[in-house]
Amino acid sequence: MKTSVVIGGNFAGMTAALELKRKGKDQQRVIMIDKSPLFLFIPSLIWVPFGRREVKDISFRKDEILKKKGVEFMQAEALKVDTELQIVQTTKGDVHYDDLVVATGPKVKYDVAPGVEKYAHYVGTPNGAMKIRKALEEFKKNPGPIVIGATQNAGCMGAAYEFLFNIEKWLREQNIRKEVDLYWITPETFLGHFGIDGIKGGETMLKSFMKMFNIHYRTEVGVEEVMENKVKLSSGEELPSSFTMLMPPFIGVDFVQNSPGLKATAAGYIPVTDDYRHVTLPNVWAAGIAVDVKLPFEPGKVPFSGPKTGYPSDETGKIVAENIIRVQQGKNELKKKGWGKIPGICIMDAGKKEVIILSDKLFKPRKFAIMIPNIFYDFNKVLFEKYFLWKTKHGYSQLP
């Protein structure tokens, strides 16, 4: 029996662990190591600050599901790995592996600019989302200008766009929209770049949204400093701000950075080939945000990254599981689908409206790519949330 150890247990890790056990059956021992026993549907965090979702609505215990499917769950922090001895050191002891899957997700680089951690909010964690809810209750009492956006080197622009349109809707619902100057700042070279070099018609659509909702925007800017009542941009402009929400960059987690044997990039990502196998370590694999992704475009005056979202994370988790099983069965041909060749499937919420983004490949060249606005209701976004939570709660990792 082979032992596969999966570090991390959200989109990529959960899928990889379940698929390894499903495909390997009794010949595969699968151990997941993660600090939290909860699975969190991260895309819906943008609704938590506005009371549309509670954290408990979008999370559930994954340890129980894993146990039912035959996956061992170890609630511990993975500290580092010795790739020569093939041992993962954790806060609860050492674990030996035959194959290692790094699906650790990101660490947020709050120190990207002075004041970001102290004065700017971040919606990407449950704690951050709840802090925003509390801050907005105070904001209502004394409205002022708002700055929303992404910093230099950020890659998760989509979530920031979603938060922007949701807070605009919230301001109208609170009857204070006319009292608030709303600003959008982004390192993107144009609106709707999203770190994928845009989609035809996307820039025009987002420009029309900005005009429709009276949102001031700045492209190709970084954040020089965030202060208590203003945001200083790399362009030298200073925007007044009574409330600021920014998406900082992601970097590799401490486990990766503390493991020199993984030979990670400077940003802490795992270098892999198109089969998600480490470039020099044949029994080490990566899935999801932990993967080093090479961008096929020049960012422009201000650097930014490509998106690492739920769908590619889920897909890479499946590819890794399939390839580990193939290798263990002595097969030479592995499944290959580089990050940029994974289809682009995304639903961007726009405050109970939505934009469906579809493309045959995440990165260019593409055969087709389209953005479809739905101005009536974010039905598809809600449906996707319900579907993904249902499939994951039942351990149906083989489903799309």
**Total-model pTM:** 0.95
Cα–Cα distance, 312 to 291 (Å, whole number):
11
What CATH number has the domain spanning 2-107+250-339? 3.50.50.60
Angle between helices 11-24 and 310-328 (to 10 degrees): 30
pLDDT score recorded for residue 208: 95
Which CATH number does 109-249 carry?
A: 3.50.50.60
Question: pLDDT by residue (tens digit) across 286-303?
Answer: 999 999 999 888 878 999
Predicted pLDDT at 313? 96
pLDDT in tens, 6-58: 999 999 999 999 999 999 999 999 999 999 999 999 999 999 999 999 999 99
Q: Which residues of the chain have pLDDT under 50?
A: none
Sorted by sequence, the CB contacts under 8 Å of residue 331 that are 6+ apart come out as none
pLDDT at 60: 96
Q: Which two tokens stand for residue 372?
A: 């479809």
SS3 assignment, position 392? helix
pLDDT of residue 297: 86
Question: How many residues would you count in the chain?
Answer: 400
Continuous segment of H or E residues that includes residue 30: strand 28-34
pLDDT of residue 192: 95
Q: Report residue 281 as tokens.
A: 């370590």
Q: What is the pLDDT of residue 376?
A: 84
What is the largest distance, in Å, between two alpha-carbon atoms of the chain? 66
E strand spans, 51-92:
59-61, 72-75, 78-82, 87-90
Tell me the chain's radius of gyration from C-alpha atoms. Answer: 21
Distance separating alpha carbons of residues 120 and 98, to the nearest angstrom: 43
How high is the mean pLDDT of the chain?
Answer: 96
Determine which helix (DSSP H) or strand (DSSP E) holds 370, and give its type and residue range. strand 369-374
In angstroms, the CA 172 to CA 363 distance is 36
Residue range(s) in the chain whose domain bears CATH number 3.50.50.60 = 2-107+250-339, 109-249
> Is residue 135 within 8 Å of residue 50, measured between CB atoms?
no
Is residue 276 within 8 A of residue 321, CB to CB? The reply is no
Q: Which helix (H) or strand (E) holds 354?
A: strand 354-359
Angle at Cα 107 formed by Cα 128 and Cα 388, nearest 5°? 70
Structure confidence at residue 375 (pLDDT): 83
